[in-house]
Structure 1
Amino acid sequence: MNRPILLQKKDLIKPIEQALERIEKIRERKVNNDDSIILEGLFALGVSSFENSISDTLRILLTNIPDKLDIKSEPISKEQLIDGNPLKQAIENKVNAVSYKNLSDILKYFTKTTGINENIVTEDELNSLSEIKATRNLLIHNNLIENSFYRETSGPNKRQPNGMNRRLGVDQDYLFQSLVTMRTVLGKFKTELLEKYADYTKVNAIKKLFAYIFQTPIMVFENEFDVDLERDVISFIKPETSRKAGLSSSERLFFDIWVAHSHENGFEFNRGHFYGIGNREKLGYFIEQIDILKS
């Protein structure tokens, strides 16, 4: 039996929610603030939050569903292969490689990999985002003084510089419109992801882990625990319908560890003769994922 996918939709959208929260705080702080340094700093923070939310969402998705990695992944060094976590490094290399692509390709990879509507970002929104990103890069690398790189990457919404020094501005209006665009696109992503991954709840993740750990027909999750689907929680243990008495000694140990961690029910280790751990891989995976049981 393959290891279960324990992805939860609330974890998947967390980077986007954090970016939306930060963008809202930036919007609040820009009101009645005409200091160019502060406005430029808030603008750079907003764009970075937008970009990082996309990268972090991809990391979470690929970590939980590595089958979504491209067949042609980014190269891994010999040192990374021997000393590190090859899958984690492959994911990191892929996400970093994508982040250096142009914005259109980043969004295409994001929508394709997540499985959401590939046309969710309109042409007008893409044009606005391209110019916003080009301005952020110009701010960081050339003090907002127009150069050829800005002209090549800003797209149809390219702005004209002010004055003889050919410097672009980041005033309140420009910052506000940029925040609105980024907030709108992230809001769309959040809605689409919640719809696409609607079944990836905490309850379903725990049930998948249960089925993987207890591969016996006598153990039915709903017979052991009360499930509150509306609140997405596992509430109390159901001793009246439990079949734990039919488990083997090693399986009962797994169950006792499960309940001890999920419901803080202590137990005495008294399982007869114990000669060794039969399925070390399963035990290791169980311990690695056990915090998912906490409410």
Structure 2
Amino acid sequence: MPPHVAILTDSTAYLGHEAIARHHVRVVPLTVVIGDEAFEEGTEISAPAVARALQKRHPVTTSRPSPAEFTAAYEAAAAAGADAVVSLHLSADISGTYDAATVAAKEAPLPVRVVDTGLVAMALGFTVLAAAETAEAGGTVDEIVAAAQKRAADTSAIFYVDTLDYLRRGGRIGAAQALLGSALAVKPLLRLADGRIELLEKVRTSSKAVSRLEEIVVERAGTRPVALAVHHLAAADRATALADRLRTRLPALEHLVVSEVGAVIGAHAGPGLLGVVVAPL
């Protein structure tokens, strides 16, 4: 039976269908635009399709859901018997999704608490799961938000991209850093910090960057029980190999997801993305 407080997120949380169904999470999709065609993330376009479009240098952009889409989702939650909604979204510094949810919340037929998690991908997904588990245990809106914020604050997201050019094109990282990286043939390691994408380290080769990514993950995880997500775009073999090494190096690892990112994040990160989310439990 669904909890009385409904949990809602957006499609960049990249929760699998099973987790969404099991925890009764409602998902509002973002949109990917290739050329002049718009596709709903999660149902109408795949990450490999975005990777192919980027490799062919087709114009690829993304757009947030409209406030009307959030209004419809909040109304559906009320119609299903929810007493309130906790609406958790990707960083407001990366997308206008949080703003659209906030606008819609003011007109919703039930109380809605909108949370800017400052995260994206399974960093957001693990935060949503913390909220959903608290809701299932009968938590209040305040308790659910507190559980989500604690998980978000404890979670790290570190990733490698073959080039900063896609992030620069989408305005997700400073042009000066992107140009510097290109000029020096640097392979960048990036992180999410305070809701923004920041350069963490510059490494000279892709193999050294992946090795350094692994070391950072092991350091961040420590000896605590953790959940990990290894994300990639068009780099499945590299993601699987990294996940296998992390399994052997982290004895307290309780949950590991290996998945290709969705179309929206793929559009901004580009083919070759390899990232890891570390979420202490």
For normalisation by structure 1, the TM-score amounts to: 0.22
**More helix as a share of residues:** 1
